[in-house]
Amino acid sequence: MSSPDELLRIEGVRKSFPGVVALDDVDFDLRRGEVHVLLGENGAGKSTLIKVLSGAHRPDTGRVLVEGQEVQIRDAQDAARLGIATIYQEFNLVPDVTVAENIFLGRQPRRFGFIDTKRMEAEAAKLLERVGVDVSPSARVRGLGIAQLQMVEIAKALSLDTKILIMDEPTAVLTTEEVDRLFAIARRLREEGVGLVFITHHLEEIAALGDRVTVLRDGRSVAHVDASEPEDELVRLMVGRSIDEQYPRERPEPGQMLLQVRGLTRNGVFEGIDLDVRAGEVVGLAGLVGAGRTEVVRAVFGADPYDSGGVEVLGKKLPGSDVGAALNAGLGLVPEDRKGQGLVLDASVEENLGLVTLGPTSKGGFVNLASQRSSAARVADELAIRMAHIGQHVRTLSGGNQQKVVIGKWLLADSRVLVLDEPTRGVDAGAKVEIYRLINELTASGHAVLMVSSDLPEVLGMSDRILVMAQGRVTGELSAEEATQDSVMSLAVAANPGPNPEENEVEGR
């Protein structure tokens, strides 16, 4: 029987795609004024479930009830009418119109037949104030940072009189401070009686924000538990086994110098970067979002230019801005923006895994297809990429499994120095450990890893040395033994303005 507090109930929902059953007999319920966490490994069916609620997918069987009434959600309009709003990882905002126009898209207040901009902006300002974001209603969306975009999406949801707010991995791209702000808004909405569905791979966020947790495994809802459940128990429910060692780093003796960066400077972005990476090492590059870490590693790889300084691989100087030369010298880069830079979405898993190796192995006109096939299959297996078959298009993989394909592609490329920018963002707890094991294998066989990561436990757990950046400069270096959360954070916020502080803004590109 439905209680008066029940907002949403899902019963026996099934959804299949060719070759996969994404959801199988799923039950779920959401109450007024609660945050309900959906937890599960990459490919467990979380995004598919919320797409059923947003009208993007129709279930094959099963029932969806909103406030006790069975409903059919055929499209986004149906969802909106029922008070359901969804914030996807990829935002749905229109970049070239204003914030206010985005919030009221398709339902702008009118006066004598014309859009009443004044009234629209005044109402938008009220909503933006309610979420506590300092953005002008007349600003264009294009210039906003990711956290601001998210807040605009939430303001938009509020304008729709939302009763059920669904967020798919909202914190994956936010800084610690921004996460705090998002949580404050979520708590306020909860007090107002909104029901929130929240997806995250960061286990520590569950107890911090959640009330209840539904665990999905292989498309089935396998557990409904309290959010205060211990983390290791949540992991066990999620992956079906316990993970005894989260950071299995084995440190070989460092060998020869592989990568040496001296005085690398890009005016106004980063300055005087010195960096050594030896065979067998994992060097962590820590810092806050916007400290310039991604900009530095892109310049090292030749993807972006620099103004002075230099990069040597195995003692040979690399020309600047030449990705081909970097590749030939043995550098590899797994970029932060994997959708934009790392994958061909309409090609298969196998083809994507072969993208980097295809060049080298086809020299002289031969591509060793058979060996390429078997190594692609091996890497897919080691990373436990969840797919119907190796010919499946990457576009239809779950978010986390797409990440694994990009990483796998570079593991196959056999680079001497692999630069990983946020390697486990969006990756589930079990798969993270698999990636760490592969990093161990690489370094044990004389390769090296330079890792940019905003996940502090990961930087501390996996790096042999940590360089910390703030405002475009290296503010300190710590060995694995001396590094702690506090020592890294104090270097990351070090007041160390560059020569021209105003030009030091590197965020929001």
Ligand X SMILES: Nc1ncnc2c1ncn2[C@@H]1O[C@H](COP(=O)(O)OP(=O)(O)OP(=O)(O)O)[C@@H](O)[C@H]1O
Q: Which listed option, Mg ion, ligand X, none, makes contact with residue 453 (CB within 5 to 8 Å by class)?
A: none
Residue with tokens 């009208």, as numbered in its chain: 55
Q: How far apart are CA 213 and CA 216, in angstroms?
A: 10
Stretch that binds Mg ion, among 7-15, 67-75, 298-306, 394-402 (CB under 5 A): 394-402
Binding site residues, ligand X, CB under 6 A:
17, 20, 22, 40, 42-48, 386, 396-401, 428
Residue with tokens 């870490």, as numbered in its chain: 293
Q: Most distant CA pair in the chain: distance in Å?
A: 76
3 state DSSP class of 479: strand
Number of residues that bind Mg ion (CB under 5 A): 3
Strands (E), 60-203: 61-66, 69-70, 84-87, 110-111, 114-115, 164-168, 195-199
Q: Is residue 145 near Mg ion by the rule CB under 5 A?
A: no
Stretch that binds Mg ion, among 2-10, 33-41, 47-55, 266-274 (CB under 5 A): 47-55
CB closer to ligand X out of 42 and 440: 42
3 state DSSP class of 485: helix
Q: Which listed option, ligand X, Mg ion, none, makes contact with residue 471 (CB within 5 to 8 Å by class)?
A: none
For 342-355, give the DSSP string: T--TTSBHHHHHTT
Q: Is residue 43 near Mg ion by the rule CB under 5 A?
A: no
Q: Which listed option, ligand X, Mg ion, none, makes contact with residue 463 (CB within 5 to 8 Å by class)?
A: none
How near is the Cβ of 372 to ligand X at its closest, in Å? 23
Q: Is residue 399 near Mg ion by the rule CB under 5 A?
A: yes
Q: Is residue 171 near Mg ion by the rule CB under 5 A?
A: no
Q: Which listed option, Mg ion, ligand X, none, makes contact with residue 43 (CB within 5 to 8 Å by class)?
A: ligand X
CB closer to ligand X out of 19 and 193: 19
Q: Which of 30, 47, 203, 290 binds Mg ion (CB under 5 A)?
A: 47
Q: Is residue 170 near Mg ion by the rule CB under 5 A?
A: no
Q: How far apart are CA 106 and CA 356, in angstroms?
A: 44
Encoding tokens for residue 404?
């694994």
Answer whether 368's CB lies under 8 Å from 456's CB.
no
CB closer to Mg ion out of 47 and 98: 47
Q: Which listed option, ligand X, Mg ion, none, makes contact with residue 45 (CB within 5 to 8 Å by class)?
A: ligand X
Answer whether 215's CB lies under 8 Å from 234's CB.
yes
How near is the Cβ of 205 to ligand X at its closest, in Å? 14
How near is the Cβ of 425 to ligand X at its closest, in Å? 11
For 222-273, give the DSSP string: EEEEETTS-HHHHHHHHHSS--S-S-----PPP-SEEEEEEEEEETTTEEEE
How near is the Cβ of 328 to ligand X at its closest, in Å? 33
How near is the Cβ of 470 to Mg ion at its closest, in Å? 32
How near is the Cβ of 376 to ligand X at its closest, in Å? 17
CB closer to ligand X out of 18 and 113: 18
Encoding tokens for residue 147?
């956290």
How near is the Cβ of 52 to Mg ion at its closest, in Å? 13
Q: How far apart are CA 154 and CA 174, in angstroms?
A: 15
> What is the chain's alpha carbon radius of gyration, rounded to the nearest angstrom?
24
Q: How far apart are CA 392 and CA 96, in angstroms?
A: 34
Q: Which residues sit at the interface with Mg ion, rule CB under 5 A? A: 47, 398-399
